[in-house]
Amino acid sequence: MRPGRISKVLAAAAALAVVLSACTGTPPAPNPASASPTATVGGNVTVLEAAPFTSFNAASVTGKTATNTRVDAATHSGFNTVDSDLKIVKNEQFGKYEKVKDNPLTIKYTINEGVQWSDGEPVTADDLMLQWAAMSGWYNDSVLDKNFAVTSGTAYFHSAGDHSGLAQTERPVISDDGKSLTLIYTKPFSDWETAMGSTVSIPAHIVAVRAGLADAPALSRVLASVPKGDPAKQTRPDPTLRKVADFWNTGFDSRSMPDPTLALSNGPYLVKGITADKELVLTRNVDYAWGTVPKLDTLTVKYQADPDKQIAALEAGTADVISPATNAERVSALDALKPAGVQLQQGSGLGFDQVVLNFKGALAAPDLRQAFLHTVPRQQIIDEVAKPLDANAEVLNSFVFAPVQVPYKESSASNGSKEFAAGALDSDGIAQAKEQLKGAKPTVRVLYNKDDAERVAQYQLIAESAAEAGFSVTDAGKNAKEWVAALKSGTFDVALYGWSRNAAGSAQVPQIFRTGAASNFNNFSNTVVDQLTDQLALEPDPAKQNALKMQIDKLVIEAGYGLPLFQRATLSASGEHVSGVAHSPLEIGPWQSIAQWAYVK
């Protein structure tokens, strides 16, 4: 499970000069008996992505990008995936995992016979052992500063995910036949089902050889011998594990086609070729039989950072699938292409906009926080900011549940968020804020990204409404390069920023709302919430997790933490020569439906 991320900060915005060309695959011969478009098996589809492919290890710090993650999903398989309703879907054609015991929590993973890498080597428990080692932080004995930089000790694997779950396991045990791996947690962990990630992407036998070891079992023996890291008892780095980790960290990074052993697949597609910063070609893995077999022969990935040029390429027929950043003008431009066979895939993503109040400073008093929140014109923000991006946008009424999740309606009805329904469009809200202020005129600094047009619009509406109630509003907006530092330093009273939910699981909730947590930027602290988040991290039962999250949702809003605004829309579009492209809220976007994509005559 990955940690939460601030919207629009980590995405690269570098402009790329890209030469767009027509689909490289040979389309099937026309069928004179059919006058309407017909989906076929075979053919090629061209996809535009905003940034070039850079790594075959999308789980590493250097490799964790949207493009790399999408290619990883197309070329690798695993025990489960998360669907568009944010529900976990098992892939028992790949293998099975089972809870062997509740106390201690014991999980056994078994890979099916016949699942193999594209070089013919089987996927084994040695691959799982390496994945556990890389994603657990188990061997690290490093001390980190507040910016997560190593100040002393050793950090071996630089994985981009959250270590909190797998770090709580004993060293795994591999079965005698090499097909199963058993994990024992030292204490219960709520997100055990997604802790090992959605794909098995790094071949242990390749890492072993590159680190000077004989084979994958030899690598597992190293991982079985190095002691667990302890920051209080730092030791000299193990030289063999250092070599293994160093290769895992950056050895799979490449902008051009590397040695084929670094591009191995165990999924529906193989990487056939890469032209640096220009294109990547995927071809169907003919041996793949442990999941849904794709319809396309090839898929060509090209790069274009400019969303408007993506739309122009779709119109010109030099691209078949695009995922441009959404705004009203682009939605309108794509709507105009519908007569030419263009289809839009729109819906809510995992990201949402929010207003967050600092518990230190001008709004430290609970009644002042409540007064400010009553001025937030949420419905006006929906009408003027969100609906031009998504005609179905509605006020979001939960910090912890997405609208597609079953507990959302129950939690939003009981957490108190609907008391703050409209703000400036509701005279009662302004009147209530004035009554709570009792003539006071607090000065509040509102922080936001001034380079984001939607955030600017939100600020203007909120500032106008707050001023009407009696607040003195200071524009503390910063440019895109500066505002995150201001957020982390706490130099604000009100902050407008986005957040991205994890696709599944509960560990992100403690990360945000627990006292002193890594993503607790507004000095929120509540002892009951701390106790509930501790319980949540240990609770394996989904129904009980939801009950705990509903309590947290209510307590957070009652404390005046802030208000959710709206779920961010995501957008993709497909042309007349492809069918089966579907919306997904996940990071891989339309690629989630890649097995259903088909070339259309």
Question: Which among 274, 299, 273 is positioned nearest to 284, based on CA atoms?
Answer: 299
Question: Which among 472, 482, 473, 488 is positioned nearest to 450, based on CA atoms?
Answer: 482
What's the average model confidence in pLDDT over 116-124?
Answer: 98
Amino acid at 133: A
Identify the residue with better confidence: 432 or 18. Answer: 432
Q: Note if the bond before 28 is cis, omega within 30 degrees.
A: no
Alpha carbon distance 211, 250 (integer Å): 13
Phi, psi of 281 (to 5 degrees): -115, 125
Name, in order, each residue with C-beta under 8 angstroms of 89's C-beta and a sequence gap of 6 or more: 80, 81, 82, 83
Alpha carbon distance 395, 382 (integer Å): 6
Q: Among 36-40, 268-272, 307-311, 593-597, where is mean pLDDT lowest?
A: 36-40
Residue-level pLDDT at 432: 86
| Helices within 120-278 (DSSP H only) | 125-136, 204-210, 216-223, 239-250
Identify the residue with better confidence: 391 or 312. Answer: 312
SS3 89: strand
At residue 427 the predicted structure's pLDDT band, cuts being 50, 70 and 90, is: low
Question: Which among 117, 78, 122 is positioned nearest to 265, based on CA atoms?
Answer: 117
Find the helix packing angle between 542-558 and 407-414, rounded to 10°: 30
CB atoms inside a 10 Å sphere around CB 540: 16
Alpha carbon distance 153, 143 (integer Å): 6
Angle at 385 between CA 333 and CA 492, to 5 degrees: 135
Q: Among 215-224, 419-428, 525-534, where is mean pLDDT lowest?
A: 419-428
Amino acid at 242: R
Amino acid at 44: N
Q: What are the pLDDT digits (tens) for 50-99?
A: 999 999 999 998 999 999 999 999 999 999 998 888 889 999 999 999 99
Q: What are the pLDDT digits (tens) for 579-594?
A: 999 999 898 999 999 9
Sort 88 into a burial class: Cβ within 10 Å, 0-12 / 13-18 / 19+.
middle
What's the average model confidence in pLDDT over 512-520?
Answer: 89
Write the CA distances from 499 to 73, 387, 448, integer angstroms: 23, 19, 13
Percent with pLDDT over 70 in the chain: 92
Q: How far apart are the first and last CA of the chain?
A: 40
Q: What are the pLDDT digits (tens) for 522-571?
A: 999 999 999 999 898 888 788 999 999 999 999 999 999 999 999 988 99
Identify the residue with better confidence: 182 or 325. Answer: 182
Average pLDDT, the chain: 89
Structure tokens at 288: 């793949």
Instruction: Report whether pLDDT(1) > 80.
Output: no
Q: Among 135-144, 297-306, 426-435, 563-572, where is mean pLDDT lowest?
A: 426-435
Percent with pLDDT over 90 in the chain: 70
Structure tokens at 427: 């005279």
Q: What are the pLDDT digits (tens) for 457-484?
A: 999 999 999 999 999 999 999 998 899 8
Instruction: Report whether pLDDT(5) > 70.
Output: no
Find the helix packing angle between 427-437 and 366-375, rounded to 10°: 160
Residue-level pLDDT at 449: 95
Residue-level pLDDT at 173: 97
Delineate the domains of the chain, giving CATH numbers in brackets: 39-73+256-347+570-600 (3.40.190.10), 76-250 (3.90.76.10), 349-569 (3.10.105.10)
Write the CA distances from 263 to 124, 204, 267, 385, integer angstroms: 18, 13, 12, 43
Alpha carbon distance 25, 480 (integer Å): 40
| Helices within 490-558 (DSSP H only) | 508-513, 527-538, 542-558
At residue 12 the predicted structure's pLDDT band, cuts being 50, 70 and 90, is: very low
Question: Which secondary-structure segment (H or E) carries 390?
Answer: none
Sort 286 into a burial class: Cβ within 10 Å, 0-12 / 13-18 / 19+.
exposed
Q: Among 234-248, 282-296, 426-440, 514-528, where is mean pLDDT lowest?
A: 426-440
Alpha carbon distance 342, 185 (integer Å): 49
Instruction: Report whether pLDDT(26) > 80.
Output: no
Strand-strand pairing, 443-447 and 494-500: parallel
Residue-level pLDDT at 423: 54
Instruction: Report whether pLDDT(601) > 90.
Output: no
Residue-level pLDDT at 8: 30
Q: Among 24-33, 333-342, 352-361, where is mean pLDDT lowest?
A: 24-33
Residue-level pLDDT at 146: 59
Structure tokens at 152: 């002393």
Chain position carrying tokens 């071809």: 283
Q: What is the edge-to-edge ordering of all strands in the sheet holding 39-40?
A: 39-40, 598-600, 578-579
In a 13 Å sphere around the CA of 178, the CA atoms on its Cβ side amount to 16
Residue 468 φ/ψ region, left for φ over 0, alpha for ψ in the -120 to 50 degree band, beta for the rest: alpha
Global confidence as pTM: 0.82
Task: Find out whether 537 and 530 touch, Cβ atoms under 8 Å.
Answer: no
In a 13 Å sphere around the CA of 226, the CA atoms on its Cβ side amount to 24
Residue 516 φ/ψ region, left for φ over 0, alpha for ψ in the -120 to 50 degree band, beta for the rest: left
Residue-level pLDDT at 6: 32
At residue 421 the predicted structure's pLDDT band, cuts being 50, 70 and 90, is: low
